[in-house]
A and B are shown apart, each in its own frame.
Chain A
Amino acid sequence: MTVSMSVTEPHVELKGVVRRFDGPPAVHAVGPIDLTLARGEFVSVVGPSGCGKSTLLDMLCGVARPTSGSVRFEGSDLNGEVPPGIGVVFQEDSSMPWLSVRQNVEFGLRTSGLPSAEIKERVEHAVSFMGLAQFIDHFPAQLSGGMRQRVCIARTLVLRPRLILLDEPFGALDQQTRLLMGDELLRLWRETGATILLITHALDEAAMLSDRVGVMSARPGRFIDFVETGWPRDRDSRVVSDPNFGALTARLWSSLREESLKTMGRAS
């Protein structure tokens, strides 16, 4: 599933993207933002709460339209339309309580028009890839929060997306589960060759998983720093014991500290 294309052409490209919300009160949420993702790159975005990370993600997948600026995916403008080839995993549990695990994962392919044998194969592959094989006939209510989030990831995987956007997907999970889910995410990234953009508030998560971490400012959110991690492609959660890991996290925090203080000052 690795795609052969010239490495120089950007997979995703944001130019001068600004998002304002008409009031009252009018809010300048995001931008201007310039961001380029190379094909197969793993990029994380960190930022103080309320800095417009989720707004950025909405514009990346075409759910929201930028007030000005352009979002290009695989060479064409999004214009507020959701193109095929993008998968999104949300922070909230978006499993459907009325469907079993199998049906939930199948949901991604309901409109695909693929033959049912193909659908069955893809679903079972995604389900076992996410380690849910023995729960395939369970309902979400019978699963833990981490497993429900895996169902949502599997539902995205069956679409074979070339770009996967994750909006704090592990935010509601405990620390150990998050580290293990991070490993699975890395495995998934390597095996699918997809481009991944992960939005997170956890600096260690960003430092551990990504090729590159973008640091956003307080509202209106824009990028104030990009940090290259320099990890090898076949990394896993054990990089946390690498001496560089501490330095990376420290650098992220020093970029972010001032911005976070601003947000807190605004809140109080």
Chain B
Amino acid sequence: MTRALALLIVRSVVLAGPILLLEFGCRAGYVDPNSIIPPSDMIASMVEHIGSGDLNESMVQTFSTIALAFGLSVAIGTLSGAVIHRIARLRDMVDPLLASYYSVPTFIFYPVLVALLGLGKAPLVVLGILSAMPAVIISTLSGLDSVPPVLLKLARIQRLGPALTLWWIILPSALPRLFSGFKLALSYSLIGVIAGEFILSGSGLGFAISFAYQSFDNRAMYGIMLFVLLTAVVANGVLYAWEGRLRRRRSKG
């Protein structure tokens, strides 16, 4: 318990230290206010922008796009993962594709998607799916691989049919890996959508940041940036903690 406490304290100091240093540097004039504004101003700006409601539309736009990309990635990814797992030949075939998929910077397809689908929600959703779905497929495969053969044998000895075997044995066994895949899918679709909005788009939080940057409104830029980063950290953090609980209960000591 004391070690956990010490960890918490040191971690907080490691995180808070640079922020305080930056605050001091900005206030004392060591940091050019045209490049970085004091952290306290960033927070104030974030609160203002959320409070004034002028970000509402962007938030709805961005979060609904992410939710759509994430949901589709999970649904299509899990299903195709299960199909690929069933058909050994198909799996051998797509194996090299999955192994090198994430080495290709998928993002370079985004301008093409915009040219193809027009500037709007559609290319962002497709980009989100392109970033997130393969992770779901991969973790579905590794989840299904991780089902202990002895439990499948047990299912046969207990004379469970295919549906019950899936529901009682395969899904619970594969759940930890599936969940890791969903966690990755969330952060990948979030990164993809916001990056797309940032580089080339007419709305959304990513666009709001790049618009503020291009119109030299540093205060607004830092405020919105902080909001986006905090949202991402909280969303990932919740899933991370949830995953940790799932694993802890199962890890055999």
Contacts and interface: CB of A to CB of B under 8 A. Distances in A.
Contact of B157 (A88, A98, A110, A139): A88
Which secondary structure dominates chain A's binding surface?
A: loop
Interface string B219-253: 00000000000000000000000000000011111
B159 A139 contact: no
A171 interface: no
A111 B160 contact: yes
A24 to B, nearest CB: 16
Contacts of A58: 153
A87 B158 CA distance: 9
Nearest to A165: B157
Contact of A63 (B153, B173, B249): B153
Contacts of B251: 141
Contacts of B153: 58, 63, 88, 90
Nearest to B251: A141
A84 interface: yes
B252 A94 contact: no
Most A-side CB within 10 Å, residue of B173, B251, B252: B252
A96 interface: yes
Nearest to B172: A98
A48 interface: no
A84 B251 CA distance: 33
A84 B157 CA distance: 8
A97 interface: yes
Interface of B is mostly: helix
Contact of A110 (B150, B156, B168): B168
A141 B157 contact: no
Contact of B252 (A90, A99, A141): A141
A197 interface: no
Interface in A118-157: 139-142, 148
B156 A96 contact: no
A247 B58 CA distance: 85
Contacts of B164: 110-111
A40 interface: no
Nearest to B175: A98
A111 B157 contact: no
A87 B154 CA distance: 10
Nearest to A159: B158
Interface residues of B, number: 21
Contacts of A179: none
Contacts, number: 57
B148 interface: yes
B250 A111 contact: no
Interface in A51-88: 58, 61, 63, 82, 84, 86-88
B109 to A, nearest CB: 39
B151 interface: yes
A141 B249 contact: yes
B178 to A, nearest CB: 13
Q: Which of B158, B160, B164, B173 has the most CB of A within 10 A?
A: B158
A63 B250 contact: no
A141 B252 CA distance: 4
A97 to B, nearest CB: 4
A140 to B, nearest CB: 7
Contact of A98 (B159, B160, B250, B253): B250
B151 A94 contact: yes
Interface in B131-149: 148
A136 to B, nearest CB: 17
A225 interface: no
Contacts of A108: 158
B252 A140 contact: yes
A228 interface: no
Interchain residue pairs A-B with the least CB separation, the first 3: A97-B250, A92-B150, A98-B172
Given A88-B157, A97-B249, 5 more contacts: A88-B154, A94-B154, A97-B250, A140-B252, A141-B253
12 contacts: A58-B153, A82-B156, A84-B159, A88-B153, A90-B153, A93-B252, A96-B173, A111-B158, A111-B159, A139-B250, A141-B250, A148-B252
Interface of A: 58, 61, 63, 82, 84, 86-88, 90, 92-94, 96-99, 107-108, 110-111, 139-142, 148
